[in-house]
Each structure stands twice: as structure tokens, then as C-alpha cells.
Amino acid sequence: MVDRGFITCISSEYREAHRSLIESRALTFEAVEENPYLNPAYVRSQLPLTLSLMFLGEWGEALREIEAAVAVLDKNGDDRWGQGVRPHRAWVHLLAMDFAGVLDQCDSALRLIRDPEVHPAPDYPAPYRFGLWKCLFLMGSAETGLGDYASAQEHLLAAQADMDRPGPTCVWYWRMPLESALTELWLAKGDLAQARPQAERFLAIALATAEHTWQALAWEANARLAMAELDLSRARECIAGGLSAMEGFEVPLAAWRVHATAAELCQNSGDRDSAERHLALSRDTIMKLANSLPAREPLRQTFLSAPAVRRIQGKTAAAV
């Protein structure tokens, strides 16, 4: 059940992945003669379980699961898997655009991963390398959001260099968030010459998988690149690709961005009705993400007050 949950999670079947992993947990806890928290199935289920909740947009539940998993793994002294799960807390903060929070959490996690007394670099076991890659692309993404492009580039290229070394078979999955982060860096800098091959590489890597969130995000990034280059024909092609990638899948992390960019493109093309429709879909998804967090959770307000989100929430099609 854990293996099935992992495979369905990285195939964008997040709801089914969550069901399999919860069922696995129930089976584990039925083994009353053993301590379920020491069962390898419980330990291995935590990474895909929190990932599935994040990608479903269930951020509040994801944070609760992450906190519970980290507490158990720390109590067990299981630092290997703890370093794999701990960065997921920072990932939720990145999704909610709490860039300062991401840096604060990843800085301490990165120090633990790189502690030579824990494990000598560079031959980290797989969970440590997963944790290293996550921390580096999360920090680079947050720094891009804060406008610290030099530091962002340093962290993202460090992640890329480590991924290029021989290592775990799942490196293909972690290349997608890294390629996304590098694409966003070049776009934020306005360096279209660097952004173009990076965006194309991101798309090629995503299309080679069954991961529809990253496919849709790759199409959307290429659409923004085409719009920046005033190539509206290519932009329309990319938006169509993003909408197609989302069809039949529950991918809210991509949906609010794809629909927002589609609204801008439709307005540029003079199609106000379609622009309004896409804006409404983007806003609805944004509120579902925000409402997954408790009303008094500071991260909820951080997300809703982020400039990118405020622009969408305050727009009409006539003012896109």
C-alpha cells in the first residue's frame, strides 16, 4: 500500500495516493503486538503522504501531518527520514509565498544535513540527498521571490550539481521543481536568453513523466515567456497545453496560476468573456487553498496578501 501510494502520488493521483497511505497506516496500527511508529511501512509512508496533501492543496492538513511525522521521527532518533520530511514544512510556506519563513526553516535544516558528525559529505544516503535538494531549491525559490537573485542562483546551481552526481533513482522527480525554480529565476531577472532554454528544458522533463502539476506549471512558465517575447501565438499554444495537462486531474497548485495567465492572455487578445471565466477559476482555487488553513493561521493571510495573489483577487478582465 505504501509503494502504491508513492507511485500514484508521483503520477498526480494525489487523492488515491492519500487513500492508499492512510489505509497502510491503519494496517500498521492493527499490528498491536508491535510499536507501529517503528514499523518501516509507517516511516516510509510519511514522505509521500505529506507530499500528496501539499499537492492536493490541503495545506493545513499537510502541516499537521508534517509536524506529527517529524515529532515521531525525532523521538525515534531517525534522522535519515526526518531530513527527508522536515523540508516539506518549508515547502508549504513557499507555496503560500512566505519567503522569509522558507529561508529560516531551510537554513537550520541545511545545517543539520551538512553536519559532518551526522554524515560526511558528499556521500549522503538517499533521504539526506532528497533533503539537501529540497532545501536548496526551496531556498533558491524563496530568494528569487525576495529579489536576491545572486544567492538564488548559487543555491539552485548547487542543487543541480549534486543531482548530476550518481545517486537515487528518483532524481528525475526532484529535477522538476529545480527546473521550475531556475526558470522563475531567469524570468524574474528579465533574462529571456537564459529563460528560453531553461523553460524548454523544464517542459521536456515534465512531459516525460506522468506528473500533471509540473506539466501544467511548465506550460504556464513557457506561456509567460512567450508573452514576454510578444509571441502570442506560442503563448496560446502553451496555455492550451497547460489546460490540457490539468484536464481530469486535481491539480490546484497549477490551476490558479494557469488560469491567471490564461486570463491575461485572453484579455490581450480581446476576449474579455474568457478572461473573466479564467479569473473566476483562478480566484476560486486561491480561496480553496487559503481556506485549507485555519482562519487564525498567519500563513493564510501571508498567502492572501502576497502581491501575485492580490493582483488576481483585485482584477477584473478589463484591468488585467
Of 214, 143, 141, 213, nearest in space to 176 by CA: 214
pLDDT tens-place string over residues 262-283: 999 999 999 999 999 999 999 9
Of the chain, the end-to-end C-alpha distance in Å amounts to: 46
Separation between Cα atoms, residue 54 and residue 302, nearest integer Å = 17
- Domain ranges within the chain, ordered by starting residue: 190-320
- Tell me the per-residue pLDDT of 28-73, one tens digit each, with 9 for 90 and over: 888 666 676 677 777 778 889 999 999 999 999 999 999 988 888 8
Distance CA 73, CA 82 (A): 6
What would the DSSP string read from start to end of 145-175? HHT-HHHHHHHHHHHHHHHTSS--TTHHHHH
Cell of 292: 485549507
Between the alpha carbon of residue 92 and those of residues 89, 159, 181, 210, the distances in Å are 5, 19, 15, 22
CA atoms of 43 and 78, how far apart (whole Å)? 9
pLDDT band at 295; cut points 50, 70, 90: very high
Percentage, residues of the chain above pLDDT 90? 72
Q: In this predicted structure, what is the pLDDT of residue 320?
A: 43
State how far the Cα of 317 lies from the Cα of 38, in Å rounded to an integer. 54
Classify the C-alpha dihedral 159-224-200-252 as positive or negative.
positive
CA–CA distance from 46 to each of 71, 81, 124, 239, 241 (Å)?
12, 9, 20, 34, 32
pLDDT tens sequence across 174-229: 999 999 999 999 999 999 999 999 999 999 999 999 999 999 999 999 999 999 99
List, in sequence order, the alpha helices (H) in 31-86. Answer: 40-56, 59-75, 79-85
Question: For 23-32, what is each residue's pLDDT tens digit?
Answer: 998 888 886 6
Supply 296's cell numbers.
487564525
**Distance separating alpha carbons of residues 152 and 148, to the nearest angstrom:** 6
> How many distinct helices (H) and strands (E) make up the chain?
17, 0
Name the maximum alpha-carbon separation found in the chain. 67
pTM exceeding the 0.75 threshold for the entire prediction = yes
Are 50 and 65 contacting, i.e. CB atoms less than 8 angstroms apart? yes
Report yes or no: 82 and 73 within 8 Å, Cβ to Cβ.
yes
| CA dist., res. 253 & res. 91, Å (int) | 12
pLDDT of residue 317: 44
Task: Name residues whose C-beta falls within 8 Å of residue 257's C-beta, 6 or more positions apart in sequence.
Answer: 217, 220, 282
H, E, C per residue of 16-44: HHHHHHHHHHHHHHHCCCCCHHHCHHHHH
Q: Which residues lie below 8 Å from residue 147, measured CB to CB, with a gap of 6+?
A: 188
CB atoms near residue 276 (< 10 Å) = 18
Mapping DSSP to helix (H, G, I), strand (E, B) and coil, where does residue 135 land?
helix
- The set of cell numbers assigned to 5 is 501510494
